[in-house]
């Protein structure tokens, strides 16, 4: 994931705290079902999901919202690097 590595470089250069591929347990009725692996958690406040695809689909928006719920974070940013101008590939989410 070259784009994830580039994001690491940029966040580190900016002095922003982050965790990469952070794992969160998913439980149902107290039973551990699985772990969700989030691309990034930035500053203990924002879920950052990285994509490089032709177009963001509804499933990608649902995915980051689910990650935000699992992490119990209200803010999320979905970034698609497969665009001409990066802001066109960004989608902010708030729960």
Q: How many domains does the chain have?
A: 1
3-state helix, strand, coil in the chain (%, to 5): 30, 40, 25
Both structure tokens of 53? 């695809």
Q: State the pLDDT at residue 74.
A: 98
The mean pLDDT value for 25-41 works out to: 95
* CATH code, domain carrying 33: 3.90.320.10
Count of residues in the chain: 95
3-state secondary structure (DSSP) of residue 34: strand
On the question of pLDDT at 1 being above 90, the answer is no
pLDDT digits (tens, 9 = 90+) for 50-77: 999 999 999 999 999 999 999 999 999 9
On the question of pLDDT at 16 being above 90, the answer is yes
Q: Which residue range forms the structural domain that includes residue 28?
A: 2-94
pTM greater than 0.85 = yes
Q: What percent of the chain has pLDDT over 90?
A: 97
């Amino acid at each position: 994931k070259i784009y994830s590595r580039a994001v690491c470089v940029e966040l580190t250069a900016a002095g922003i705290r982050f965790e990469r591929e952070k794992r969160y347990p998913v439980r149902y009725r107290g039973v551990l079902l699985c772990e969700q692996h989030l691309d990034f958690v930035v500053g203990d406040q924002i879920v950052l999901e990285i994509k490089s695809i032709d177009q963001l689909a509804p499933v990608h928006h649902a995915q980051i919202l689910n990650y935000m719920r699992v992490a119990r974070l209200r803010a999320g940013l979905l970034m698609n690097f497969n665009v001409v101008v990066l802001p066109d590939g960004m989608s902010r989410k708030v729960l």
